[in-house]
Amino acid sequence: MKISFITAAYNRKYLLSNLFESLCSLKGDYFEKEWVLVDDGSDDGTNELIDDLKKSSPFTIKYLYKENSGKQSSLNIAFKLIESDISCVIDSDDIIDDSCLLELKADIEKINFMNDKRLSTIIYHSKDTDGNLIGSPFPTNYHVGKPYTFYNQHLIKGDKFDFFKTAVLKKYEFPIFDSEKFIAESVLWNDIHQSYDAVFINKSLQIVSYLDSGYTKNAVKLRINNPKSAIYVNLKGFELQTSYARKLRYCINYFRYKFHSKLFKFYKLELSFVNLLFIVPSVIIGYVIYLKDLNYD
């Protein structure tokens, strides 16, 4: 069985060697590995590093350079390059537990993952560099369901580590808006899981570091600077079959970024009676948060 590790990187030469060593250290020979790296316009010598790594790599490295246009556009390109049975996205500042492939193999076989047409994804936890779980555990092991429903029901938090059937992943791509370089990855994962289920397993197989320049620490600023994408993400979230509280949160943020963008005709909410119950308070709360955002550092 073949597995693809997908990385979109921009000026991360100083981190990519660590990720490469992590991929080299993965135990087990059940999977044939490939690393698909899309370089989003780096000018730090990433291309030279990858040329050197290819010389000693025990697995295939596919490297493609493109002009800078954002992580998600890079992932869209990577999805077209992958040739495997299973795929996962791994950021340049993260590494993988060396037991990951052994655990993944056991779980694939236990749940008959590849043959179950309901399933697209196996979702694990992440941990920090000290081995501590990031976020909260799943209340049950080997639960099958929709992430956006399961997470809301049980208030699940924290970064997760997702493995997708490649055949499913290649059917989808991130929406990209002119002049914007960021869109929350949840919009694509939610899109996939409207058609497929995921399996949630209480194992921590990704080791995460949070850089000051990374997406996680700059989430609000990224959304303010990419308001069309933020509007779209929250509109699509509002349309999900999820809890009242979650829908209200999506609606508030929808209007919050409407105020930032001044694009009030861009992706309008349907004005049904039920939606108005969300819209009226959301406009007010969204405007208050927007005013606070104006002082965001």
Structure confidence by residue, pLDDT tens digits, 10-39: 999 999 999 999 999 999 999 999 999 999
**190, 211, 232 - which closes a domain:** 211
Judge whether 229 and 180 are in contact, CB under 8 Å: yes
For residue 165, give every residue at least 6 positions away whose Cβ sits within 8 Å of its Cβ, in sequence order, or none: 85, 86, 87, 113, 114, 119, 120, 121
DSSP β-bridge partners for residue 173: none
Q: Is the pLDDT score of 295 beyond 90?
A: no
Which residues form the domain of 140?
Answer: 2-211
Q: Residue 283 has which token pair? A: 């406009």
What is the pLDDT of the chain when averaged over all its residues? 93
Q: Is the pLDDT score of 270 beyond 90?
A: no
Interstrand relation of 95-96 and 60-66 (parallel, antiparallel or unpaired): unpaired
CATH of the domain at 181: 3.90.550.10
Which pLDDT does position 267 carry in this prediction?
77
- Tell me the per-residue pLDDT of 166-217, one tens digit each, with 9 for 90 and over: 999 999 999 999 989 999 999 999 999 999 999 999 999 999 987 655 555 5
Nearest residue to 203 (alpha-carbon basis) of 270, 128, 291, 137: 137
Which pLDDT does position 8 carry in this prediction?
97
Q: Are residues 157 and 251 in the same domain?
A: no
Q: Are residues 63 and 125 in the same domain?
A: yes
Q: Are residues 68 and 201 in the same domain?
A: yes
Q: Are residues 28 and 166 in the same domain?
A: yes
Q: Is the pLDDT score of 78 beyond 60?
A: yes
pTM of the predicted model as reported, rounded to 2 decimal places: 0.91
Q: Are residues 95 and 221 in the same domain?
A: no
Q: Are residues 99 and 175 in the same domain?
A: yes
- Report the domain count for the chain: 2
